[in-house]
Structure 1
Amino acid sequence: MKVARFYAPGEIKLEDAPEPSPGPGEVKLRVRNCSTCGTDVKISRHGHHHIVPPRVIGHEIAGEIVELGEGVTGWSVGDGVQVIAAIPCGECVECRAGWLTICPNQESMGYHYDGGFAEYMIVPRKVLKVDGLNRIPEGLSFAEASVAEPLACVLNGQELAGVGAGDTVVVVGAGPIGCLHVRLARSRGAKHVTLVELNAERLKVAADLVQPDAAICPAEVDPIDEVLKLTDGRGASVVITAAASGKAQEDALKMVARRGRISFFGGLPKDNPIIACDSNLVHYRELTIVGANGSSPAHNKRALELIARGEVPVADLITHRLPLDRVLEAIETVADGKAIKVTVEP
């Protein structure tokens, strides 16, 4: 079979490998879709401290069960499934409290275990242990199911920020995550959603797809002034920074309403994670700032349901489909910022 293995920054090789066999408690998949994201770009260029090469990467996985390991029950050959990316231990203090997204023992597909840029792969027993193998609802394509993983992360972020009926929401960043935030906010009852993106071309592509109520390009206008104008001077009730930008986080403090919530959804570069925060704005306006880290197995299940019910459509966000032998092209397509969602179809 063919796999795409990461060896070092700038060195991902398409190779032949023997088909794996599932051990006890494991499941073997024929990978049908493994979608790509900005994390794959970062891994390809800089590596990751949790990845010990060589490693098959790819973590937005959907496929078909082709073999069951000893002791696996409740599944059948031919079942279509989606696989969680982040694997909590299920046993630590945080997991027992229900905070699976911040499990200190978390492992990940494509990092600690071979991922989905392969024709076949093994779902480890730890995934099944935490109920992280999810049946794809009838009528949903493998490509759509692969987008459940990023949507699950978006769902976690919006739950933490309390996005709900009547909210005015600003989403900063018009990549696939920003587009999912726009659509999920709408499905959760937000009355007005604004999309902000520095790249005018990317903003146009995204806005044409997800149709926000307003689109703002900070390269052309002051985004803080524009948000205040749109909200009669109050500011947005929720601002979500779905971009790795300290400036976006700083701006969020100035465009959010009193008692507003800010989600620092996108992490910052590890060599520049510090921002200027006017603590008095937080204090006197009673602002809430929340982080968001990945998703739980339950978020993945609910994301699949949201997609299947049509509450958060994703099919039109998949702008590029490439075979496994063009996986490097897929990653570079994500990097150049012109695509929304790129999926690999082994």
Structure 2
Amino acid sequence: MTETMRAARFHADIKTNVLEDVPIPAPGPGEVLVKVEFCGICHSDLSLLDGTFPAMLPVVTQGHEASGTIAALGAGVTGWQVGDRVIPSAGRPCFQCRSCRRGDLTNCENIQLMAFAYDGAWAEYTVAQAGGLTRIPDNVSFEQAAILADAVSTPYGAVVRTGQVRVGEAVGVWGVGGVGTHIVQLARLVGAVPVIALDIDPVVLDRALELGADYAFDTRDPELPAKIAEATNGKGLDVAFDSAGLKVTFDQALGAVRRGGRVVVVGLSGQEASLGPTATFGLSQKQVLGHLGYKNIDIEVLAELVSRGRLDLSRSISEIVPLENVAEGIEKLHNHVGNPIRILVRP
């Protein structure tokens, strides 16, 4: 192993990602060094670059959806060996908040996010906490394993935990790109019916139908409310997922859910949304829920679903770019070139 590696580093002062040679990090106690096979490009990576998310460090390696093999073990690590195929968690507990002091690390109140609070995996190597690793089943590819840590697990958390979608509930998904596509698949998997995909791109809508949506509607259609009502036999949606995080998508989602229905905001942007008059909102008994991330156990569950053929992610990898071309991948995601679900970086 050489002493240096290539890494794509975000510089906060110029809001630019720069490919650099940096020292290979050494794992500390309870940590492992992971040789990265693949790492996804996520919209939150773009949000750091464009300033939607404030920088937490002056310089940081980006990328938080990774897969790879363990290259070295830190002191005190047990249960893992060099060469094990793993998925690092995209966050780590702070060890200082009230929950962490009680030993409840999974509910850390100040979770530190990979590629924001500490170096990520757009690099040849990354350091990860051993307690946050998930073993990759032998029949699951590194490519599909990488996106489990956010691109699929965040939708899983939104559907199962925050949205608490139940069998037979009507679900709508606004924005069926990388996150929304997986919400469609997972909502169908847990028994939602009907599952309605909503977007402005006909190609994306056709893809959503192929991947499990029962209906696919253009959000610009003036007949949209009537079409949703017809698809749900007049009751409206039980749960609406806003994967875009825009004012227009939030407004439509809130208007489409039935009395007492739930709106889960998964997409993030700088736009402001409104609940309208408090009297109207209160009388509607609707709920608006913000969602972020997942629990580590969710990655293990999803890996098992993929391994056993219950969840098909074969179409989720839209393109793979070498680390040297990460800027090209970023640009393609930003401009929706080819309507990517996920673009992967290969160091």
On whether the aligned pair clears a TM of 0.5, the verdict is: yes
Structure 1 residue 132, shift from structure 2 partner? 1.1
Question: Which among 5, 8, 24 is matched to residue 4 of structure 1?
Answer: 8
Partner of 1:196 in structure 2? 198
Encode CA deviations 1:104-143: one digit per residue, 9 max, x unaligned.
Answer: 32111111221110011211xxx33xx3111111211111
Q: Give me the identity figure in percent.
A: 31
Q: Answer whether contact 1:59 1:116 (CA < 8 A) is retained.
A: yes
CA distance, structure 2, for counterparts of residue 173 and residue 215 of structure 1: 11
Across the two proteins, how many residue pairs are aligned to each other?
337
The answer for unaligned runs of 5 or more in structure 2 is none
- Say yes or no: does 1:83 pair with 2:88: yes
Residue identity opposite 1:76 in structure 2: Q
Cα distance, 1:136–1:181 mapped onto 2, change above 3 Å: same
Tell me which amino acid in the other structure corresponds to 2:228.
Answer: V
Letter in 1 for 2:186: L
1:318 positional shift: 0.8
TM-score, normalising length: structure 2: 0.89
**2:136 alignment counterpart:** 136
Distance, in Å, in 1 between the alignment partners of 2:288 and 2:47 is 26
Distance of 2:279 and 2:185 partners within structure 1: 32
Per the alignment, do residues 105 and 157 of structure 1 end up closer, same or farther by CA in structure 2, a change over 3 Å counting? same
Say whether the 8 Å CA contact 1:170–1:194 is kept in structure 2: yes
Q: TM-score, normalised by structure 1?
A: 0.90
Alpha-carbon distance in structure 2 between the residues aligned to 1:283 and 1:48 = 31
> Residue by residue, what CA displacement relative to the aligned partner does 1:301-331 show, whole Å, maximum 9, x if unpaired?
2232233233222121111111111111111
- TM-aligned CA deviation for residue 98 of structure 1: 6.2
Counterpart mapping for 1:140-151 below 5 A: 140-150=140-150, 151=152
Aligned residue in 1 for 2:33: 28
User: How many Å separate the matches in 1 of 2:52 and 2:285?
Assistant: 39
SS at the partner of 2:66? strand
**Structure 1 range deviating more: 311-320 or 139-148:** 311-320
Looking at structure 1, the residues matched to 192 and 284 of structure 2 have their Cα atoms a distance apart, in angstroms, of 21
Q: Distance in 1 between matches of 2:99 and 2:73?
A: 31
**Kindly tell me: are residues 58 and 209 of structure 1, through their superposed partners in 2, closer, same or farther at Cα, counting changes over 3 Å?**
farther
After TM superposition, the structure 1 stretch with the greater mean CA deviation from structure 2, 250-259 or 236-245, is 250-259
- Give the Å deviation of 1:294: 1.3
> Shift of the alpha carbon at 1:207?
2.3
1:46 aligned to which of 51, 70, 83: 51
Cα drift, residue 69 of structure 1 = 1.4
Q: Using the TM superposition, give the Cα deviation of residue 276 of structure 1 relative to its aligned residue in structure 2, in angstroms.
A: 3.9
RMSD: 2.2
SS of 1:321's equivalent in the other structure is strand
Distance 1:341 1:276, change over 3 A: same
Please, which runs of 5 or more residues in structure 1 have no aligned partner? none
Query: How far apart, in 2, do the equivalents of 1:19 and 1:36 lie?
Result: 22
Task: After the TM superposition, list the runs of 4 or more consecutive aligned residues in structure 1 that deviate by more than 6 angstroms.
Answer: none
**Paired residue for 1:311?**
310
Moved more, 227-236 or 163-172: 227-236
1:74 to 2:76 alignment: no
* Alpha-carbon distance in 1 for matches of 2:228, 2:302: 29
Pairwise CA distance, 1:71: 1.5
